[in-house]
Structure 1
């Protein structure tokens, strides 16, 4: 089953980072985890400058909420790791 624009909900997050490099580190860490197929949620990530853009789509509000909550947990861990160890270049 695929999600079409006409019958789904979407949510967008724009996460600013101190630098484009750190946004790229976050993108690299977060883009490897794909959404489970059973949830029928799609997630798209891309970076523009120092901002990580994330778009979620799902048919049900509950599934999109669960997906966003899980993503935010992972994002928090990535941010804490960058803050603790600093970006390695």
Structure 2
């Protein structure tokens, strides 16, 4: 199924962190995990100071929802890891 860009669904998230360092650690951890090609989801991450911006595009609402849920699960793990190993 070839879906035109105009028919794609999208969602944008802005995730604030206490510092630019934490945002960069999260960005570096999450940017290496690419979306599976079979899901037809495209995800872009970017940094703006202590804000990580995430843009999702998908051809179906279900795949968009699954991708966002998976992202939040990974983000939660990254944040917990940062809390455990944060420099004093």
Q: Same fold (TM over 0.5)?
A: yes
Gap runs ≥5 in structure 1: none
TM-score w.r.t. the length of structure 1 is 0.92
1:85 matches 2:80: no
Superimposed CA distance per residue, residues 31-69 of structure 1 (whole angstroms, 9 cap, x where no aligned partner): 000000000000000000000000000010000000000
Q: 5+ unaligned residues in a row in structure 2: which ranges? A: none
How far is the alpha carbon of 1:3 from its aligned partner? 5.9
Question: Root-mean-square deviation (CA), in Å?
Answer: 1.7
1:34 is aligned to: 34
* Cα shift at 1:85: 1.1
Count of aligned residue pairs for this structure pair: 88
Q: Secondary structure at 2:71's aligned position in 1?
A: helix
Moved over 4 A (4+): 1-4
CA distance in 1, matches of 2:69, 2:26: 16
1:50 and 2:50 matched: yes
Which digits, 9 at most, give the CA deviation of each residue in 1:14-40, with x for residues without a partner? 000011111000000000000000000
1:14 paired with 2:1, answer no
